[in-house]
Amino acid sequence: KNQVEQSPQSLIILEGKNCTLQCNYTVSPFSNLRWYKQDTGRGPVSLTIMTFSENTKSNGRYTATLDADTKQSSLHITASQLSDSASYICVVSARGSQGNLIFGKGTKLSVKP
Amino acid sequence: GAGVSQSPSNKVTEKGKDVELRCDPISGHTALYWYRQSLGQGLEFLIYFQGNSAPDKSGLPSDRFSAERTGGSVSTLTIQRTQQEDSAVYLCASSSGLAEYYEQYFGPGTRLTVT
């Protein structure tokens, strides 16, 4: 069964600190993996998208990594800001799936002053 | 330019009533998707449209759920005889092509509460 698992479920860090969020997936055949940021009461917004051949992708203070062999991805946030408080969702697409993306349950990040 | 819009933003309805949720995609986007986000759960795929046709309805949870898209633009998701388990945030997204390859842009969602 195609699944995406994320950890931790929630995380609290102090402003200015770094953190890393994890994503494991069993989706096959793999097409691409995305990380989304979802602010409370808003729709998800894309941060990065990586295909099989990409190991890392950065978007400002956000850096995503992908290990397609172990089917793991991580999202590293550098020098966190209060505005980083949100849910971070890992999404995997299977080849030929057309529209059916597989979403993780997300990691809820709280950045405290 | 304008993003994906959804209406209403909040809807409270009594069990057994029908509801209609509306999605206005980004102009020119041919693909449109509906998802459901229940409390503490990940987004659940419901249905997608390519133009006005819906090749994949496999995610609709029951025959009480239906969706249509007219003119390749606006879409409505209808839930008949609502049940309490239908309470969730319903998100719409659009893309310029199939989501497997193209970026999806999400609307703010409609929060449905069935009492």
- Residue in B31, B103, B107 nearest the CB of A99: B31
Contact check, Cβ <8 Å, B31/A4: no
Residue B55 vs residues B43, B51, B69, B87: alpha-carbon distances, Å: 20, 10, 12, 26
- How high is the pLDDT of residue B102? 85
CB atoms near residue B96 (< 10 Å): 14
- How high is the pLDDT of residue A110? 98
In the block, residue with structure tokens 């997300």: A106
CB B7 within 8 A of CB B110: yes
In the block, residue with structure tokens 């994890």: A22
How does the average pLDDT of chain B come out, rounded? 92
Task: Name the minimum distance, in Å, from the CA of B108 to any CA of chain A.
Answer: 5
In the block, residue with structure tokens 């020098």: A79
Structure tokens that stand for B1 in this block = 């330019």
- How high is the pLDDT of residue A99? 66
Mean pLDDT, consecutive 10-residue segments, chain B of 115 residues?
90 98 95 91 90 85 94 94 97 87 91 97
Q: Which residues of chain A have pLDDT under 70?
A: 99
> What are the φ and ψ backbone dihedral angles of A15, each rounded to 5 degrees?
-50, 135
Contact check, Cβ <8 Å, A100/B56: yes
Structure tokens that stand for A51 in this block = 């295909």
- How high is the pLDDT of residue A95? 85
CA distance linking residue A93 with residue B7, whole number of Å:
28
Contact check, Cβ <8 Å, B98/A98: yes
- How high is the pLDDT of residue B41? 84
